């Protein structure tokens, strides 16, 4: 148990659906992250939020829309996804962003399948 929870754990959606992934951290951290892991590829950073402000968008398509209403919660809103967006989406948090030694604590991920 890392103190970072994600819901749902599994999601199947059609290309025309709209869905949201939720992440919550109970660690009192100020930075939150979304990562994507596609099959046989390394974890890839998508977005970074620091004190609720987005500080990094790693050239992510606009069909992925993040939201960070407070330092404890992070959402990833999904709309008109493509089958190639099927992947494991991981959330993480750290005390702050930008610190080289700050450990990121990860949730268990949401396994997304786009039909």
Partner 1 sequence: ILNVEQSPQSLHVQEGDSTNFTCSFPSSNFYALHWYRWETAKSPEALFVMTLNGDEKKKGRISATLNTKEGYSYLYIKGSQPEDSATYLCALNQGGKLIFGQGTELSVKP
Which of 2, 30, 80, 95 touches partner 1 by CB under 8 A? Answer: 2
Query: Judging by DSSP bridges, how do beta strands 10-13 and 87-94 pair with one another?
Result: unpaired
Beta bridge partners of 82: none
Which of 90, 93, 112, 114 touches partner 1 by CB under 8 A? Answer: 90
24 makes contact with partner 1 (CB under 8 A): no
Size of the site for partner 1 (CB under 8 A): 23
106 makes contact with partner 1 (CB under 8 A): yes
Q: Write out the DSSP string of 66-115.
A: EEEEETTEEEEEEES--GGG-EEEEEEEESSSS-TTPPPEE---EEEEE-
98 makes contact with partner 1 (CB under 8 A): yes
Which of 24, 43, 72, 86 touches partner 1 by CB under 8 A? Answer: 43
Q: Which stretch binds partner 1 (CB under 8 A): 12-20, 67-75, 79-87, 101-109?
A: 101-109
Q: Which of 74, 69, 64, 60 is closest to 32 using CA atoms? A: 74
Beta bridge partners of 21: 76
Q: Which stretch binds partner 1 (CB under 8 A): 19-27, 60-68, 70-78, 96-104?
A: 96-104
């Amino acid at each position: 148990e890392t103190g970072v929870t994600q819901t749902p754990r599994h999601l199947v959606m059609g290309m025309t659906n709209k869905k949201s992934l939720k992440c919550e951290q109970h660690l009192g951290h100020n930075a939150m992250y979304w990562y994507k892991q596609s099959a046989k590829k390394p974890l890839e950073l998508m977005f970074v939020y620091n004190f609720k402000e987005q500080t990094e968008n790693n050239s992510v398509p606009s069909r992925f829309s993040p939201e960070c209403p407070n330092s404890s919660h992070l959402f990833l809103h999904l709309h008109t996804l493509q089958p190639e967006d099927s992947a494991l989406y991981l959330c993480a948090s750290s005390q702050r962003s930008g610190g080289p030694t700050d450990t990121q604590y990860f949730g268990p991920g949401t396994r997304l399948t786009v039909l």
